Structure 1
Amino acid sequence: MTSRLLRSPLALAVFAASTLSHADEVALTPVTVEADFRQTDVQQIPEAVTVVGSDDISARSAEHLEQVLSFAPNVNYSSGASRGRFYQIRGIGERSQFIDPVNPSVGLVIDGIDMTGLGGAATLFDIKQVEVLRGPQGTRFGANALAGMINIRSNNPTKETEGYLSARAGNYDSYGLGGAVSGSLSDTAQGRIAVHGYQSDGYIDNTFLDRDDTNNIDEIVARGKLAFQVSDDTDIGLTYLYADIDNGYDAFSLDNTRETLSDDPGTDAQETHALALSLDTQLNSAAVLQSEITSSRSDIEYSYDEDWSYVGIAPGWEYSVFDQYLREYERNTADIRLLSGTDGRLFGNSTDWVVGLYAMQRSEDLTRNKTGKAQYQSELDAASFAAYGELSLNLGEMLRFIAGTRVENWTNEFSDSNGLDDKTDETLVAAKLTAEALITYDHLAYLSLARGYKAGGVNSEPALDSALRTFDAEINHSIEVGLKSSMLENSLKTRIAAFYIDRKDQQIKNSFTYMEDGAPQFKDYIGNTKNGKNYGFELESDWDITERLNWALSYGYLITEIGEYTYESEYYGVFVQDGRQQAHAPQYSAATALTYGLTDALSVRLETEAKDEYYFSDSHDLKSEAYVLWHARVAYAQPAYEVALYGRNLTDRDYEVRGFGFGNDPRDGYSSYGHYQYGEPLTYGVEGKFYF
């Protein structure tokens, strides 16, 4: 372990920083966490939060959420699609979805709209910031935030007329074009429109079809926002989001290369229409009313060539199967809350309060078409109703206690074409107690105890015993201690957190795996283990070393253990995984960046990110390899325009983002073990913005 740490970005960055001069007097701009009830500065909120601002998004030349997640320590993602769709925070989170519905552990919210499990829409054009809240967020966000929440906020309408055009071109025939315009529609109304398209041939060559675009990217996202000042005390906001994702999916190679042999490549497509309506009104000096109503509909196609090959590759051994999942999602939410105003504080004006009600309706209809099988259909109707509240007690200027709770009733009704008709009905409770203390005006320490939950559900596999038909809710209890500091006359800001999570009835994905007609078959279901454990620490810092030189760093260290768990398969035999590291939970993760302004207009940025090896699944022992990636960007900026050259993964390192622990190559009788999907290779290009 020591040698790996010495090769990590932490050691490299510390070495670099040790050669630099003392800090000049600089002031850093406060960064606000909008997912907090009262939109608090990231340095003042008593929990582990990473905010990736628009400057960081531009500096990474990022198109999608997965390309900036390394800024947040102990955060990972799972691909198994054209983009990262599922996320893990502190080792907790789902990795895939096939037949069964998924109750996610990590929520994804875009402009107030719940897009959990629909990560294809998490593009980053005209985005103000990405917030990653780590640890149970049940008191604020409920069952979708057992491990944490990712909150994406786009730029708001402005009163002054402004806008820009953006374009880029790069290798793999990649290019993007977009624009945004914002301004006043009247004295009391503003609007903003942003539209962006991005296309790429992708990073796969299909040698059988002689094509280089079977894993292509083709994405269009449009967003419209309106802001109304109805009166001096009342604001209304309206957001419309449209996403048209029409990507290919042909990522797995029999030879574990970027050359595939599929004769029927798949699709990873998503079309989303979504609306959000918000109201913020000062009722009087004692109370503020906030409400948000959202509605979204998404049509999804996820399909793939299951055999990853072609007819005739190995006569007598081969099979040919195409698998297609067509899903229709509908989600409607309403969140209404009251917050204390200046004259509404309790207990001698010492205690702020929040009370709220939340309702959610979600439907998910699946049609599965698989070669040689009867069409399968299922319907899920989920509903949630919650009441929540929070008290914040100030004991003088230096000490504060925060107590929050949420009570949520969650129901699942599931039916399918195999005749299954079942439901679950649970009442779940989340709570959080936090003590924070200003050690000095530059150092904030906090200690929090939290209880989070994720709802149970219904397994669809007809061969399961009745005892496994449903699975229980997972309950997590966590403790977190942290220190947030501003030093060197505000030029250096640091955030340190240590945590321990006890996972009761940990939900874990199991599989029946067996051979049928010469091919491996998989029957998935979700079960519960006894207590799992996740613990570690995190470090983040942002240092303006001089007026021209900035050093940013994040580092996470994570230990995880599965509870008592035995996995049995006709194909694999019996695995006893008790105490093993959990899947998609690397022991260390790190990222660091040095940005230097050569002149007022010309800047250079060098970044590196690293991740330890990790298991791909809890039901087999296939692992990724540890890796280090390097990125760079040179930018020239003027008030009217900006141009930049960028490169990501400069050493063209192959690294795995998904893996399956089975044999799928008929040429060797399916005896080889382990197949991988690789992340982004060396990419480079030029990009520019013109402002008006």
Structure 2
Amino acid sequence: METKMKTLSRSTLLAIAVAAPGAYSAEELEEIVVTADFRQTQLMTSAASVSVLGELQFEERGAQHLEDVLSAAPNVSWSTGASRSRFIQMRGVGDLEQYAEPKYYPSVGVIVDDLELGSAANAGMLFDVSQVEVLRGPQGTRFGASAHAGLVKISSKAPTDEFEAQLSGGVGNYGSYRYGGVVSGPLGEQVSGRIAVQQNKGDGYLENRALGRDDSNGYDEVTARGRLLWRPSDTASYDLAVFSFNADNGYDAYSLDNDRNSWADQPGADEQDTLAFTAKGAWQLGNSSLQATATHLDADLYYGYDADWVSPELCARFTCSGGFDTAQEIFERDRTQDTLEVRWLGGGETLDRGDLRYVAGLYANRNDEDLDYAYPSAWFGLYESSSRYQTERYALYGELEYGLSDRLSVSGGVRVERFEDDYRDSNGVAHDNSDDLYNGELSLQYDLSDNSFLYATLALASKPGGVNVAASSQFAFMSPEFQGFMQGNLRFDSESLFNREVGYKTRQFDGRLALRTALFYTTRDAAQLESWMWDESAGLWIGYLDSGSDATAYGLELESSFDLTASVQLFANLGWLETEVDEINTYDLDAGDFVSKRDREQSKSPGYQYSVGVRARFPAGFSGAIEAEGRDESYFGYYHDGKLDSYDLFNANLTWSNGDITVNLWGRNLSDEDYATHGLYFGADPRDDFGAWSNQSYYQLGAPRTYGLDVSWWL
């Protein structure tokens, strides 16, 4: 622990000792609004642990995707396991990867405006986005199972009442470039619209030595947004949005030597073609209002990779024991999602003594997914299967807020959900189930003064159980001992999460210091934990969710900024986390037997995280920032004891703007540190000189030193 704190202290001092871009003023801080709750709330008086990342942070990091900014939020981790980091964990809770499992409802939800992305979260692009809200802890009353452990909301920019247009583009190392355009403005007295389109492309950060290519892990992403806003009167508005995302990304991410050189002769792909529509209406009815939202999402998802990682070229250079397999694993999904929500809000804008506000709502969600799976292998032959998985969720919810005094208020919310699922596959496996899920929240909020706010919250959240799809489909092909273990694990139970939290937010020294802190303690009953087993006799990797254990977590989040002068601002975001899984039973690859692991830290739960730095404004339109970020080591699975090492990264940018034109020079991971974002443990290396087929840890590396120049021009 002493070594961890020394590393953190050195990084903090270094970041605060250097100067760089544009600081928020106290007035600007007051305008930061959290939109993910029933009512919009100022960040400094929201009764939750929330990070709001805006265009300033996007600019400082040269961010194009959600994964480029998430590390700025305390106690937020992510796993790659794909071409993008679409698997998010908050306070140690969240999904780690996706193969055959549907994952409509990840523990941490990602939404774009009102659209739930679920397993289509690769579409978390930041072009023409106003802000990203990161809500830690269960959001059960508002979102139910869609935000069991937290939520990330991406808010796109709305149509404007005056005409504006923007052209933007940029280039960077590793063959990266992007270009896009935005047009927004009135289409009549009551109608305004906005269209934004961008292409983002790059070669990736890996060399494929077998094929002589440097783009086998590259990305090619096209994002398009369109919105129409119609306000026929002062009491009614209608919002129609279209969202399209097309990704033709490679997936060639792992190396036998844990470097950036691949020997795969069949590099994979992570492709997505998503089209979604959102329609929203709002009507003001005296002191109350009615809101209705409907969404439709249609996504074609292709995910495949070279399952053996090797090629004839490797075994021509080295001696390979037993030769090598030629195998791929391929997942082709066709997914549709429909949601409908109607909500009634009543009461005034304030919560003074005796004031009452209320919310009542109905929600429905249906997901259908067809999956075609294939595993062609020279050693094990061709295994194919197809499946259909359907789920339905219906919810009734309500919330009351009451002003006990002019400074003290209380709120309580309840959400009851009905969950039903149905699974069928080509191997004759069939399951259906239903669950009743209960979510609730009780919160006290107290204005200590005009500048300080205190809250205390109790929140109960539930996540549905379901089918372990891959394990059910593979069951007939497993070895007898694995069949015996999995017999009681073909389904996983619903999980209950109970969070206790207190928070304090304040602004001091004439608004120059902004401080937000939260202390939490969370317990999970029947915690849904991802695990894996290797059945060597059958040649099967068996992935499943294990719900046989309970888990706990507690920790602290702190976010602060201090205006040192009118043009220099210091900032520090810190997270501390302690987690424990009571007991999990799994198969140990090294022992070759089933084992029980007790009092184990949760996967992807680093003990500390930080993002600290300084930003400044300079004369003649220049601004800049220097930032240090890092995190502690953490386990990356339960079937082994491998860990992702701790790391420290440094980022910086320099911007010039004259109001119409902005030029931004940015760099991330300037020290070019190798660090891992995900890991696997098994025997993959056939080379005799490297311990042929011995179990080893393999890491998917994060981005190396990247830099670029972006230009935007407002017409």
The TM-score range, normalised by the shorter chain, is: over 0.9
Match of 1:383 in 2: 392
Deviation at 1:348, TM superposition (A): 8.8
Distance 1:18 1:58, change over 3 A: closer
Alignment-mate amino acid for residue 601 of structure 2: Q
Partner of 1:492: 513
Partner of residue 156, structure 1: 158
Distance 1:310 1:141, change over 3 A: same
2:372 aligned with 1:367: yes
What is the aligned counterpart of 1:504 among 519, 522, 525?
A: 525
Q: Which residue of 1 aligns with 2:569?
A: 550
Larger RCO (alpha carbons 8 Å, 6+ apart): 2
Q: Does 1:401 align with 2:422?
A: no
Asked if 1:414 corresponds to 2:415, the answer is no
Question: Whole-Å Cα distance in 1 between the matches of residues 136 and 574 of structure 2?
Answer: 14
Q: Is 2:57 aligned against 1:56?
A: yes
Per the TM alignment, residue 272 of structure 1 is displaced from its structure 2 partner at its CA by 0.3
State the match for 1:237 in structure 2: 239
Residue 292 of structure 1 is matched in structure 2 by 293
Asked whether the equivalents of residues 10 and 590 of structure 1 are also in contact (C-alpha less than 8 Å), the reply is no
Measure the CA separation in 1 of the matches of 2:79 and 2:24: 41
Q: How does 1:540-689 map to 2 (within 5 A)?
A: 540-569=559-588, 572-667=592-687, 668-689=691-712
Q: Is the 8 A contact 1:380 1:413 kept in 2?
A: yes
Distance of 1:240 and 1:316 partners within structure 2: 53
User: Which residue of structure 1 lines up, in the alignment, with residue 326 of structure 2?
Assistant: 320
- Asked if structure 2 preserves the Cα contact closer than 8 Å seen for 1:27 and 1:491, the reply is no
Residues 25 and 124 of structure 1: CA distance in aligned 2, closer, same or farther (over 3 Å):
closer
Letter in 2 for 1:3: T
Give, as a single letter, the amino acid of the residue that structure 2 aligns with 1:360.
N
Equivalent residue, structure 1, for 2:478: none
Q: Does 1:528 align with 2:528?
A: no
Which has the higher mean CA deviation after the structures are superposed, 309-318 or 434-443? 309-318
Deviation at 1:441, TM superposition (A): 1.5
- Cα drift, residue 15 of structure 1: 8.1
Task: Identify the residue that residue 357 of structure 2 maps to in structure 1.
Answer: 352
Normalised by the length of structure 2, the TM-score is 0.93
- Mapped contact 1:306–1:322 kept (Cα < 8 A): yes
Tell me if the contact between 2:108 and 2:146 (Cα under 8 Å) persists in the aligned partners.
yes
Amino acid at match of 1:48: S
The CA deviation at 1:418 is: 0.9
Q: Is the 8 A contact 1:26 1:547 kept in 2?
A: no
Q: Percent identity?
A: 36
Instruction: Give, in angstroms, the shift of residue 13 of structure 1.
Output: 4.5
1:8 partner SS: helix
The SS at the match of 2:549 is coil
What code does the residue aligned with 1:637 have? S
Residue 101 of structure 1 deviates from its aligned partner by 2.2
Report SS of the residue matched to 2:93: coil
Deviation at 1:291, TM superposition (A): 1.2
Residue in structure 2 matching 1:438, options 443, 447, 465 = 447
* Per-residue Cα deviation, 1:477-504 (whole angstroms, up to 9, x for no partner): 1100110101111222110000000110
1:163, distance to aligned residue in structure 2 (A): 1.6
Cα distance in 1 for partners of 2:655, 2:439 equals 46
- In 2, Cα distance between equivalents of 1:359 and 1:327: 23
Cα deviation code 1:45-81 (max 9, x no counterpart): 1110110011211121101001100111000010011
1:510–1:527 CA contact under 8 A, matched in 2: yes
Aligned partners of 1:603, 1:526: CA distance in 2, in Å?
48
Asked if 1:112 is matched to 2:117, the reply is no
Note the aligned Cα RMSD (angstroms). Answer: 2.1
Structure 1 distance, partners of 2:616, 2:601, is: 39
Structure 2 counterpart SS, 1:579: strand
Aligned equivalents of 1:418 and 1:593: distance in 2?
Answer: 55
Q: How do 1:167-316 residues align onto structure 2 when only pairs under 5 Å count?
A: 167-283=169-285, 285-311=286-312, 313=315, 314=320, 316=322
Q: Which residue of 2 aligns with 1:7?
A: 7
Matches of 2:460 and 2:656, distance apart in 1: 48
Distance 2:351 2:457 in 1: 22
Q: Does the CA-based 8 Å contact 1:262-1:309 persist in structure 2?
A: yes
Aligned length: 686
Query: What SS is found at the alignment partner of 2:5?
Result: helix
Instruction: Tell me the alpha carbon deviations over residues 423-470 of structure 1, each in whole angstroms, 9 at most, x when there is no partner.
Output: 110001000000111111211111101101111001232424543222
Alignment of structure 1 residues 24-63 onto 2, 5 Å: 26-29=26-29, 30-63=31-64
What is the distance in 1 between the residues matched to 2:670 and 2:693? 35
- Whether the 8 Å CA contact 2:463–2:495 is kept in 1: the answer is yes
TM-score, reference length from structure 1: 0.96
Alignment match, 1:471: 492
Change (3 A) 1:630 1:19: closer
| 1:82 alignment partner in structure 2 | 83
- Which structure shows the bigger proportion of residues in helix conformation? 2
Q: Residues 352 and 403 of structure 2 are in contact (CA less than 8 Å); yes or no, is this contact kept in structure 1?
A: no
Cα distance in structure 1, aligned partners of 2:489 and 2:383: 24
Q: Aligned partners of 1:14 and 1:560: how far apart in 2?
A: 29
Q: Residue 449 in 1 paired to residue 454 in 2? A: no
Q: Using a 3 Å threshold, how does the CA distance of structure 1 residues 346 and 130 change in structure 2: closer, same or farther?
A: closer
Tell me if structure 2 keeps the 8 A contact 1:170–1:683.
Answer: yes
Distance 2:161 2:19 in 1: 45
Q: 1:342 aligns with which of 348, 355, 362?
A: 348
Partner AA of 1:8 in structure 2? L
Structure 2: how far apart are the matches of 1:17 and 1:439? Answer: 33
CA–CA separation in structure 2 for the residues paired with 1:292 and 1:607:
40
Which one-letter code corresponds to 1:370 in the other structure? Y
Tell me if the contact between 2:351 and 2:403 (Cα under 8 Å) persists in the aligned partners.
Answer: no
Alignment partner of 1:428 out of 433, 437, 449: 437
Judge conservation of contact 2:83–2:250 (CA < 8 Å) in 1: yes
Q: Which amino acid is 2:696 matched to?
A: Y
SS in 2 for 1:674: strand
| Conserved? CA contact 2:589–2:682, under 8 Å | no
Aligned to 1:331: 337
Aligned AA (1:322): Q
- The answer on whether the counterparts of 2:630 and 2:646 sit within 8 Å (CA) in structure 1 is yes
Q: Secondary structure at the match of 1:6?
A: helix
CA contact (8 A) 2:353 2:404 kept: no
- In 2, are the aligned partners of 1:10 and 1:553 still within 8 Å (CA)? no
CA distance in 2, matches of 1:46, 1:570: 45
Deviates more, 1:26-35 or 1:177-186: 26-35
Provide the secondary structure at the position in 2 that maps to 1:404: strand
What is the CA distance between 1:18 and its match in structure 2? 12
Say which is worse superposed, 658-667 or 312-321, in terms of deviation: 312-321
Cα distance, 1:620 vs structure 2: 1.5
Shift of 1:141: 0.3
- Measured in 1, the distance between the counterparts of 2:50 and 2:585 equals 35
Task: From the superposition, tell whether residues 190 and 677 of structure 1 become closer, same or farther in structure 2 (CA, over 3 Å).
Answer: same
- Per the TM alignment, residue 25 of structure 1 is displaced from its structure 2 partner at its CA by 8.3
1:437 is matched by which residue type in structure 2? Y
Give the partner amino acid of 1:173: G
User: Are the counterparts in 2 of residues 108 and 117 from structure 1 also a CA contact under 8 Å?
Assistant: no
Aligned equivalents of 1:24, 1:74: Cα separation in 2: 23
Question: Are 1:538 and 2:557 matched, yes or no?
Answer: yes
